Structures are given as structure tokens and as C-alpha cells.
Amino acid sequence: MLSPKSGLFALFIATGSLLLASGCGVDRFNDAGCVSDEECRFSRICFEGTCVDPSGVDQPVEPDAGPDADADVDDPEPDTPTELNFMGQWETNATGQVTQPDGRVEEVDEDRVIVDIREGIDSDLTIRMLDAEGFCPLQARILDANSFELLDVGCISDQGDFIMTYEDVIGRGQVNQEGIFNMTLQATVVGEMEGQPAFNAYLDIAFIEGERR
């Protein structure tokens, strides 16, 4: 279980305490700029000196082939599957890494994290990690009956005097042919403590071997 004394929440609390003790400001990963794609984390690319999600970069516009080019092409909106095999609660193991503001990489290895998937209000789905402090509800869109994609709409985990804001969210969940659920989550997490400058950490976690509760 990810609790205030272990796991993700404890990693950020430790970082906040370090900043309080040292008086350090924003870390070297925060708005440091880039020259090439290799300097960017996860699947982001370097665009005009900043690491960005590729989906937010305008692609070259192809020449117009004419008004009749697509006249015979029928491209209806895909229907939402009537039965979604990933809905419900899954008991998973969380594994991965958290890169702290000072560059330290902390390993995450937690048993029994409950991933709760239900119909969303502002999106197709809302994903919650139950019994795991430090996570906030994530939004997702349905891809097909067995998979979904996390949306980069952000969320906030309020732990009282310590607030974590999730940004640049990337991830996907899927139920395989054996009925096992797996989900990936990558995000920038901005930590804020009262009276201290904000600091960034980078999250790369997989929720694996999920079995339905």
C-alpha cells in the first residue's frame, strides 16, 4: 500500500523536507530548455527549445487534393463498445521510478494498489488509485472494449500542507486475452509546500498483473 510512510507520497515528502532544510529553489529539470529530443523525458520532443508532447505540435499541412478527393470515403465516428472489459476494480502491483528534483531516481515497488475504473463525468472514464496516497483521479478516453488512453488534463492531490499537481500525463490501460489488467502512467508532478518554491518530479510507473476484485 502507498501510505504516508511509504511509496510515492513519502518520496515527495522527503524531497520537500530536503528543500526546507537546504533552501533550494527550482531544480535543474524545471524549464531548463532543450536542444534535441534526446534531452526530453518520456515520449516528449524538443520544440522551439522546450520539451513538449508531440500531440501539441502542429504538423505540416498537406496540399488540398481538391473538393472531390474524399467524396467516396466514408469515415464515421467509431461506436463506443457496449461491453468494456476493463471496468471495475483491479488489484495490481505498482512498479517503476520517480525522478526527484535533484536528479535522484527512487524505485517504486508496491503490492496491492487498487485501480478503480468507472464512467467519467468530463471524460469517458475516471481512474482512481484506491488505498494509495499521493495519486489523484485521472481522466481517460475509451479506445476499444479492452483498452483506454489517459488524457493530459491534469489533476491535484491535496495532502494538506503538501499539494501535488499532475501535468503532462501519458499512459494507457489494457486487459489482455488472459483477463489480466496492466496500466502505464507517466507524468510531471509539481510539488508545493507552504512558503517554499514549487519543485518538479517525474513519475514513470506501471500497474501490472491486475486481477479483478
Q: DSSP 3-state assignment of 19?
A: helix
- Domains assigned to the chain: 7-56+84-212 (2.40.160)
Instruction: Please report the pLDDT score of residue 76 as a whole number.
Output: 56
**71-101: pLDDT as tens digits:** 555 555 556 667 899 999 999 999 999 998 8
Alpha helix (H) residue ranges in 1-40: 7-22
Is 125 within 8 Å of 147 (Cβ atoms)? no
90 CB neighbour count, 10 Å cutoff: 23
pTM passes above 0.95: no
